[in-house]
């Protein structure tokens, strides 16, 4: 029986080959064959690496679409107010992958008249460029440096106090967030005093958003509302514009009703836990930042729930309440004046705009793509044979993508967290 594993040398042509323009500090375990083919997907060839996802074009495309979605939801490449008027001068993207975020960040600031920002990407292998052009960079006018290094090996080959902004995006499947002290020590070492440390992350399991009012009405606001309330209202307005929901401690969420997502949640949680990874990293980042109170100040966060499709209770009106079985609605507004349409039908909520529907479709396809990318881990945990997995995944895709299987409120939970490093006492 032939092996399903094929090795790709680092000089191979293609978008995932290692660029010879890199600064290389790679460990010997990577060697000159950094990639391996398993079941027609390309993975990093490092047995001790926790990362369970492939690194082929299909996965890089999925990650790029999610990055574009987060750009839209967060209003740009960073949520830090420090850069509203003055951009960073030196930026590090940790686990840069294809460097798509760095490229979009460069373009964003260049469009605002700031094209001289210096960008550095750090990763265990290069996933960008052809490997043939020594001068390759994500964008032609971009000041770019790639540093190839295994982040588990400290210290990193980067200078103390070097960066104004350090972005850690979607890194929860690469390094355990349960004990990130070693990583935080490196982040703080290379971050300038006054610089910003920012995380963008998504949870890997799916919950269901239950019926609730999207935002506090203006009539409910009191005259003594503080600035925080105003800021929260602005965030809610932005989220509503894109069809997302701001998450607070009071946001009603529960387990999904979709049977495929219920199964996926169980398998993903068990499989990631066995690797020392968390299925819900969004619950961990804020507390870790707060633990660094001696060094970090102005800790801020923005968490959003992005429904994977139009939700039934949105269409029927927020007065609806999901029953325990989730399959029927109770009109909590009975007896109250409610307008009906000209046909005498029950009142319905406002439908999604084209941009809102497109953003939710992107979130849905991103989730489905993640499930498919985790096939080796999920298949192992579930005990399914290849034929059984193919049957299950086919039915899952049909249900979620074509039959409205997420109309009960299943959502993708994303978040952004940022904090500023204290200035030196001398300054």
pLDDT in tens, 321-363: 444 444 444 343 333 334 333 334 333 346 899 999 999 999 9
pTM of the model: 0.84
Phi, psi of 66 (to 5 degrees): -65, -40
Confidence bin at 80 (pLDDT 50/70/90):
very high
- Among candidates 292, 114, 42, 85, which has minimal Cα distance to 187? 292
Q: Give φ, ψ of 178 to 5 degrees.
A: -80, -30
Distance CA 395, CA 162 (A): 50
282 and 413 in contact (C-beta within 8 Å)? yes
Q: Is 161 left (phi over 0), alpha (psi -120 to 50) or beta?
A: left
Percentage of the chain beyond pLDDT 70 is: 76
What mean pLDDT, rounded, does the chain reach?
A: 83
My answer on whether omega of the bond before 155 falls inside 30° of 0, hence cis, is yes
Distance CA 349, CA 322 (A): 16
The C-alpha atoms of residue 364 and residue 336 are separated, in whole angstroms, by: 36
118 by DSSP, 3-state: which? strand
| Residue 150: HSE in the Cβ half-sphere, 13 Å Cα cutoff | 16
User: Higher pLDDT residue, 349 or 139?
Assistant: 139
Read off the pLDDT band of 315 (50, 70, 90): confident
Q: How far apart are CA 385 and CA 61, in angstroms?
A: 28
For residue range 224-236, what is the model confidence (pLDDT) as tens digits? Answer: 434 444 555 666 7
Distance between CA atoms of residues 48 and 45, nearest Å: 9
Residue 290's DSSP bridge partners are none
**Residue 407 near residue 310, CB atoms below 8 Å:** yes
Mean pLDDT of 286-306: 96
pLDDT at 26: 43
pLDDT at 42 over 70: yes
Angle in degrees, CA 386, 391, 395, rounded to 5: 145
Residue 90's beta-bridge partner residues?
118
Strand segments, DSSP code E, in 308-409 are: 320-322, 329-331
pLDDT given at position 4:
55
Which of 117, 139, 119, 118 has its CA nearest to residue 128? 139
Q: How many whole angstroms separate alpha carbon 381 and alpha carbon 150?
A: 28
Instruction: Indicate the helix (H) or strand (E) that contains 161.
Output: none
- Check residue 317 and report its DSSP letter: -
Q: φ, ψ for residue 177 (rounded to 5)?
A: -90, 5
């Amino acid at each position: 029986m032939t092996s399903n594993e094929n090795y790709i040398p680092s000089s191979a042509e293609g978008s995932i080959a290692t660029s010879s323009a890199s600064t290389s500090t790679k460990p010997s375990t990577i060697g000159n064959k950094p990639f391996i083919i398993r079941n027609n997907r390309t993975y990093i060839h490092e047995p001790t690496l926790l990362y369970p996802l492939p690194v082929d074009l299909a996965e890089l495309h999925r990650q790029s679409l999610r990055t574009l979605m987060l750009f839209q939801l967060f209003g740009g490449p960073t949520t830090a107010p420090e850069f509203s008027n003055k951009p960073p001068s030196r930026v590090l993207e940790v686990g840069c992958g294809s460097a798509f975020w760095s490229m979009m960040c460069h373009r964003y600031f260049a469009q605002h008249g700031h094209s001289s920002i210096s960008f550095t990407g750090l990763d265990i292998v290069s996933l960008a460029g052809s490997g043939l052009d020594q001068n390759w960079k994500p964008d032609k006018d971009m000041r770019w440096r790639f540093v190839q290094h295994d982040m588990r090996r400290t210290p990193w080959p980067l200078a103390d106090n070097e960066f104004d902004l350090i972005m850690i995006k979607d890194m929860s499947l690469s390094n355990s967030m349960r004990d990130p002290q070693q990583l935080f020590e490196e982040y703080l070492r290379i971050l300038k005093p006054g610089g910003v440390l920012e995380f963008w992350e998504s949870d890997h399991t799916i919950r269901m958003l239950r019926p609730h009012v999207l935002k506090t009405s203006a009539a409910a606001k009191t005259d003594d509302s503080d600035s925080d309330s105003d800021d929260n209202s602005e965030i809610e307005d932005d989220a509503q514009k894109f069809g997302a929901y701001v998450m607070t401690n009071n946001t009603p969420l529960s387990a999904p009703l979709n049977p495929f997502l219920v199964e996926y949640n169980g398998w993903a949680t068990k499989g990631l836990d066995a690797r020392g990874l968390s299925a819900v990293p969004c619950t961990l980042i804020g507390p870790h930042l707060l633990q660094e109170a001696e060094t970090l100040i102005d800790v801020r966060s923005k968490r959003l729930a992005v429904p994977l499709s139009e939700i039934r209770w949105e269409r029927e009106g927020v007065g609806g309440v999901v029953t325990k079985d989730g399959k029927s609605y109770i009109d909590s507004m009975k007896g109250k004046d409610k307008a009906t349409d000209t046909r005498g039908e029950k009142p319905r909520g406002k439908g999604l705009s084209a941009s809102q529907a497109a953003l939710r479709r992107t979130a849905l396809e991103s989730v489905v793509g993640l499930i498919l990318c985790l096939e080796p881990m999920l298949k192992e945990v579930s005990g399914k044979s290849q034929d059984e997995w193919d049957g299950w995944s086919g039915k899952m895709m049909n249900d979620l993508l074509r039959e409205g299987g997420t109309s009960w409120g299943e959502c993708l939970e994303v978040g952004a967290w940022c904090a500023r490093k204290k200035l030196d006492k001398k300054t």
